Chain A
Amino acid sequence: MNLFEGITDYLLVMKKTFTRPVKFKTMVQQIVHEMYYLGVESLPIVCFLSLFIGIVVMIQIAFQMESPLIPKYTAGFITRVVIIYEFSPTIMSMLLSGRVGSRIAAEIGTMKVTEQIDALEVMGINSASYLILPKIIAFVLIMPVIITFSIFCGLFGGYLITMITGEIPTSEYFYGLRAFFTSFEITYALIKSLFFGFIITSISGYYGYIVEGGALEVGKNSTKAMVQSSIFIIIFDVILTQIFLG
């Protein structure tokens, strides 16, 4: 499949996905269910990774800041910028594409090869809309929450290391976190998270939906879902950064 065919195919699946559900009540239940499984269940690993990345970023910056001309609060300032602008929305989304994306692709792909999707279709249910749409809506809604947790844990990680090593005074770190802060930074991170949430779920849903064959193809498409999601996250990161900050 070439790139053009792939994009056309993706758009056709999305066209089928974004249609009126058979029952709104059922879809709302599915959305709540998916918010838990895709979002809430991701929180422990997101918080764990963010905490340690916050610690590492802070150690790295403190290590580089040997010049007395650079104010100590710069460490807090840079940690904040790194975490809010790039790590939490972008890198964390790429990590989530591995956890959430491969899960979605494998789940839908397995349903395809075990004829469960055919069973939905012959009942008169639009399988793409029934399976993919609730996942997209749920994850797009929960993504800002996940990223907010990630930001908080990352910054908390930086605070922990200032407490443990004492290399940067805690008061300086907090001053750095607040220095030149505008609420747009958070808005920017959350807007990116919405886009990335859509990219992860729609691409993974697509790769699950087009599986043909057996277990081997399910595995292959799960990997493709993760890789393609990561690539599109990076491409859209460039585009969004240019739009909002350029």
Chain B
Amino acid sequence: MIKVKNLVKKFNDKVVLNNINTTFEPGKVNLVIGRSGSGKTVFMKCLLGLLTPEEGELFYGNKDFYSLSEKEQKNIRKEMGVVFQSGAIFDFLDVEGNVRFPLDMFSNMTQKEKIDRVNYCLEKVNLQGTNKLKSSELSGGMKKRLAIARSIALNPKYLFCDEPNSGLDPQNAVTIDELIYNLTHEFNTTTIVNTHDMNSVIKIGEKVIFLYEGHLWWEGSNENILKTDNKELIDFIFASSLAQKLLKTS
């Protein structure tokens, strides 16, 4: 479980995250939604420890992450799997090398065990047989799936995905959503996904938090998000012309 208490993040005098309080439970897909510039990526970077907030506490289990030593923080990071917005695929390694990288660095597996694990992870994301491809030979969707495969190589307790669907066609986006949902339930991970894709919200958002101008504006699930009377959230959900048409016809 991840618990966030009174988190405040500023850049110079600009408050980007203002007093955020929330909890992310294991075995659930937690979505963080909001307009571009609402602070989603900053929030995720604070959760990952890549940015240090001015105020607040962050608990991984019962450990206050920000008060831990660098070594203790590293130990928690080894339990994290992260899918960055760009994929962040290591371009100096091939597909197999990317998935194998965390295993090489942190496991004591034999070569055969590593290869088996790589193949298992690639199979999970439907990339079997692509072991020797270079990152430049992969499509956008394949890169995202490879990033997911790398992030699950060490069986993470916490899975973070920053806009995993951005730049993908609707079918690939659905595939990625299903993948994240299945992995979360299969391995009981605490999954946090930044997105502004409403399909993802409806399909996999077991818990949804809406960030608006740096505030946690709304919190709920995909079941009650469409029943909300929160004006800012409604404006966000039904911003696209397709959604507006559906709203009018319903």
Contact = CB atoms under 8 A, between A and B. Distances in A.
Interface SS of chain B: helix, strand, loop or mixed? mixed
Contacts of B86: 114-115
Contact of A124 (B74, B84, B91): B74
A118 interface: yes
Contacts of B85: 115
Interface in B215-244: none
A124 B78 contact: yes
Nearest to B73: A124
Contact of A26 (B84, B91, B104): B104
Contacts, number: 50
Interface of A: 22-23, 26, 114-116, 118-119, 121-125
A-B pairs with lowest CB-CB distance, top 10: A124-B74, A124-B77, A119-B88, A115-B88, A115-B84, A122-B82, A124-B78, A116-B88, A122-B48, A115-B86
B90 interface: yes
A81 B235 CA distance: 77
Contacts of A115: 84-86, 88
Nearest to A107: B92
Contacts of B160: 122
Interface string B104-115: 111000000000
A118 B50 contact: yes
A123 B105 contact: yes
Contacts of A23: 104-105
Contacts of B75: 124
A23 B101 CA distance: 12
B77 A118 contact: no
B90 A122 contact: no
Contacts of A124: 73-75, 77-78, 106
B245 to A, nearest CB: 36
The residue among A26, A115, A116, A124 with the most chain B CB atoms within 10 A of its own CB is A124
Nearest to B101: A123
A123 B77 contact: yes
Interface string B44-58: 010011100000000
Contacts of A116: 88-91
B74 A122 contact: no
Contacts of B106: 22, 123-124
B24 to A, nearest CB: 16
B80 A122 contact: yes
A70 B65 CA distance: 77
Contacts of A26: 104-105
